[in-house]
Structure 1
Amino acid sequence: MAESRQDETTLPVRQKQPRQQLTKGMEHMREYVAIDDSNKTSQQQAEEDAYGVPATIEPIRKPATDSQSNPQKRSDPFQFGTRYLEEGDDIFAHNAWDHVEVDPQYTEFIAAQTIFQRENQVSDFDKKRFNDKPEKWWDKFYSNNQANFFKDRKWLTQEFPVLAEVTKADHGPCTVLEVGAGAGNTAFPVLAMNSNPGLKLHACDYSAKAIDVIRSQEAYTSQQEPRVLQADVWDAAGEVLPPGLKPGSVDLIVMIFIFSALSPDQWAQAVRNVHTLLKPGGEVLFRDYGRGDLAQVRFKKGRYLDENFYVRGDGTRVYFFEEDELREIWSGNIPANSKDEGEAPTKVQVPGLQVLNLAVDRRMLVNRQRKIKMYRCWMQGRFRKASNENENGEAAKA
């Protein structure tokens, strides 16, 4: 026994390997996001890379101001912060910078990458496989990840202050529907801060497994009757409304990274359903992926389903939007591109909503340890059903 313990103490100690600068899935983007320090001494590294990436692939910087500090003080949530990257700023002083424009070299990469993706798209067989039953892939996703993949969205009330207002004790009756609720990362934070006895919160997802995850959480099972939060399976692009909800019964609809999971031919029905559910004056709180986001440009072979529409490695789908495109969609002008070559694109007209706010949230996220920069692009909007309009899009009778 003594010899055994002695042998154990003489075993070589395994050295901890340094963390990879890039994951395998991002290796093809190295020259566009990473600092090449292979030929630099430590002194040169400190002097030349003090601001992050080499000048040839730096983000565009704004002229320096006289301000000594740049806190994020926002009166309008659609300003998305005021941490501007200015001349002289240390790029690694913060984890993220707001309103960052991409440099010309990165823009060229996006264009080249899009051509590459289009030329190496998903086979016809796999297109059918991924498009026929998308809920199957989300079921598999939530079976594998349960409630551990996404973090609770603590930023919700900063981006959409109305969610804090409706949870106040004196607000009065209010019905909130979250579409694409997933594991409850929006619903549970709203439930936790609620003091409004008149709040009704419906969390819906077309993955039955996701709803099982929500219903299994203690915050859900421990609710007293009448319960505030109700979770149900519902297809946002289906022909029926969610359980327990009638036309014109919803005050707020929350859609966070859900519309992008629908294929373009599902948009019209989804917008119809949203319009039908909203009360006159009701609103949609919207956030989703924007064109040119890192999540889009990093796709390699066999992920391109259609223009700006991709399938991830886990089989789930994602679309990347432009601002004008979303403005048209939510106004009720849904693009319906003809499958016949040479025919002009057409529009499907559905009852639309008023676009109160729609803005592009461009940020540069920085990883100080790995010396990489990541351009993110999200779309954020607030859309309202006219106060004199019924669920059919007609002017309500006086």
Structure 2
Amino acid sequence: MNVIWRNSISCLRIGKVPCRYQSGYHPAAPLGSRILTDPAKVFEHNMWDHMPWSKEEEAAAKKKIEENSTVRVHPEEQVKYESEASKYWDTFYRIHKNKFFKDRNWLLREFPEILPVDQKTEEKVGEVSWNHVKTNAANCVSRNQNRKNSGLPRKQSKAGSAFTSVDHEEDRKGPLKTELFPGSMATFRILEVGCGAGNSAFPILNILQNAPESFLYCCDFASGAVELVKSHASYRAAQCSAFVHDVCDDGLPYPFPDGILDVILLVFVLSSIHPDRMQSVVNRLSKLLKPGGILLFRDYGRYDMTQLRFKKGHCLSENFYVRGDGTRAYFFTKGEIQTMFCKAGLDEKQNLVDRRLQVNREKQVKMHRVWVQGKFQKPLHLS
């Protein structure tokens, strides 16, 4: 089973896309296996997968959206929400710190591409967990030992330190061939955009702790969020670089060169950006990927319960809203995502609408959740 799993990842890296990555494909068991077949049992679980909507439910959702978008936020207020967006998120994290969002322990199940190709996993029957992921530490040790024995320059024990001295005498004599930057010695690099308080970053770091040749970048334009990440007990500067960055600022450089990333994680971030600026953001992120690199996307879908709950006077523009705390949210369709990422020069490998039924068993309330999930790969060769 592990060999098959690793081979499927390797196929993705060289441009061959197995069925699990194809557009519209829904993950197999255990993810996606909780299907409601008997409506009388709806309150037996908190969440049901792949829930189709009836015509009546969809019509009611459309009507609700029409109602809550009839009154728009005044243009002057809209300018304030745009210009002071980082301030609102800073305030959010100052109030909630790292208590608001749960750790995204589902990331590996949805996005196995986060793992380096040569990293092993173990799965218990009927259960997939971050705690069950192992790495091939022996291979890492063997590769480092081979470098030492062969007389090649010794890499640092951790991939991240850009300031470790080079022991090899020839390297000291001549000019450096590669400019040093955080993660410059890594062979597998991930960027998480909009890291918040680290609810994705730290589960990823836990997985990569025995893969010293991997490196994680994570950024957020709220400085308070980045400080929460850097002050966390699990933060390791040798394998992670957290930095403040506004992805809407095209002229703002990243602390690493273009074209070096294997994976970009863009999860519930794009929805907080003004729709007029989304395409330029995606275009810039595309330049950061190496050929064959992949961008992993997940965000709010049209008619998600979050959209239906907005009251009149919170609509900024079509399907774009502001919350009471000043933060914003857009609700996507599958087609919008396809157009946006393909315009950025990426190939669609997965693009699906994930519909689930969330249940409050205590209050006997049913709520439809709608998310859009996609995987978009940078071509190996320019056409």
TM-score by length of 2: 0.73
- Aligned counterpart for 1:124 among listed residues 70, 75, 78: 75
Q: Which amino acid aligns with 1:313?
A: G
Q: Tell me which of 213, 220, 234 is aligned to 1:219.
A: 234
Q: Unpaired segments of 5 or more residues in structure 2? A: 1-18, 120-134, 141-185
Instruction: Tell me the alpha carbon deviations over residues 22-60 of structure 1, each in whole angstroms, 9 at most, x when there is no partner.
Output: xxxxxxxxxxxxxxxxxxxxxxxxxxxxxxxxxxxxxxx
Q: CA deviation at 1:127?
A: 1.1
- Count of matched residue positions in the alignment of Structure 1 and Structure 2: 295
8 Å CA contact 2:301, 2:370 repeated in 1: yes
2:380 partner letter: S
Q: Distance in 1 between matches of 2:253 and 2:26?
A: 30
Secondary structure of the 1:158 match is: helix
Contact 2:216 2:241 in 1 (8 A): yes
Alignment-derived partner of residue 328 in structure 1? 339
Q: In structure 2, what is the equivalent of residue 95 of structure 1?
A: 46
Alignment of 1:370 onto 2:363: yes
Deviation at residue 247 of structure 1 after TM alignment: 1.0
In the other structure, the counterpart of 2:311 is: 300
**Residue 262 of structure 1 contacts residue 318 of structure 1 at CA under 8 Å; is this kept in 2?**
yes
Looking at structure 2, the residues matched to 85 and 181 of structure 1 have their Cα atoms a distance apart, in angstroms, of 34
1:78 correspondence with 2:26: yes
| Aligned residue in 1 for 2:374 | 381
- Using the TM superposition, give the Cα deviation of residue 82 of structure 1 relative to its aligned residue in structure 2, in angstroms: 2.5
Task: Report deviation, 1:245.
Answer: 1.3
Q: Which moved more, 1:123-132 or 1:293-302?
A: 123-132
Aligned partner of 2:194 in structure 1 is 180
CA-CA distance at 1:88 after TM superposition: 5.7
Q: SS in structure 1 opposite 2:79?
A: helix
Using the alignment, how far apart are the partners of 1:118 and 1:369 within structure 2? 31
Q: Which secondary structure does the structure 1 equivalent of 2:89 belong to?
A: helix
Residue 103 of structure 1 and its aligned partner are, at CA, apart by 3.0
Matched, 1:257 2:250: no
Normalised by the length of structure 1, the TM-score is 0.70
* 1:256 to partner: Cα distance: 0.7
Question: CA 1:243 to 1:122, structure 2 compared with 1: closer, same or farther past 3 Å?
Answer: same
Alignment check: 8 A CA contact 1:241 1:273 kept: no
SS of the residue corresponding to residue 41 of structure 2 reads: coil
Alignment of 1:125-204 (within 5 A): 125-165=76-116, 168-169=135-136, 170=139, 173-194=187-208, 195-204=210-219
SS at match of 1:282: strand
Structure 1 position 142, deviation (Å)? 0.7
Question: What is the percent sequence identity of the aligned residues?
Answer: 38
Amino acid in structure 2 at the alignment position of 1:384: Q
Instruction: Compare CA radii of gyration and give the structure with the larger one.
Output: 1
Once the two structures are TM-superposed, the CA of residue 301 in structure 1 deviates from its matched residue by: 1.7
Local SS of the residue matching 1:230: strand
1:208 corresponds to 2:223: yes
Q: Which residue of 2 aligns with 1:266?
A: 277
| Contact 1:175-1:200 at 8 Å conserved across structures | yes
For 2:93, give the aligned amino acid. Answer: Y
CA contact (8 A) 1:121 1:303 kept: yes
Conserved 8 A contact 2:217-2:240: yes
Amino acid at match of 2:91: K
Residue matched to 2:182: none
Cα distance in 1 for partners of 2:348, 2:357 equals 27
Q: Tell me which amino acid in the other structure corresponds to 2:244.
A: V
- Which stretch of structure 1 is more off in the superposition, 266-275 or 234-243? 234-243
Residue 241 of structure 1 deviates from its aligned partner by 5.2
* Shift in Å, 1:132: 1.9
1:78 and 1:242 mapped to 2: Cα distance?
A: 37
1: CA distance, partners of 2:356 / 2:224: 33
Deviation at 1:265, TM superposition (A): 1.1
Q: Which amino acid aligns with 1:92?
A: F
Q: Secondary structure at the match of 1:273?
A: helix
Taking a change above 3 Å as real, the CA distance of residues 228 and 242 of structure 1, as seen in their structure-2 partners, is farther
| Partner of residue 106 from structure 1, selected from 57, 66, 85 | 57
What amino acid is aligned across from residue 202 of structure 1 in structure 2?
Y
Query: Which sections of structure 1, spanning at least 5 residues, go unmatched?
Result: 1-73, 333-350, 390-394
Partner of 2:240: 229
Match of 2:69, SS?
Answer: helix
Q: For 1:5-33, what per-residue CA distance to the aligned partner results, in whole angstroms no more than 9, with x for missing partners?
A: xxxxxxxxxxxxxxxxxxxxxxxxxxxxx
Match of 1:240 among 228, 235, 251: 251
Cα distance, 1:118 vs. partner?
Answer: 2.0
1:240 deviation in Å? 3.5
1:206 aligned partner, one-letter code: F
Q: Larger relative CO (CA 8 A, sep 6+): 1 or 2?
A: 2
Letter in 2 for 1:98: D
Moved over 3 A (4+): 74-78, 164-172, 240-243
* 1:24-43 matched pairs, under 5 angstroms: none
Query: Matched residues in 1 for 2:281 and 2:311: separation?
Result: 29
Cα offsets for 1:339-378 (capped at 9, x unmatched): xxxxxxxxxxxx4200111111100011111000010000
**Secondary structure in 2 aligned to 1:204?**
strand
Q: Residue 321 of structure 2 contacts residue 328 of structure 2 at CA under 8 Å; is this kept in 1?
A: yes
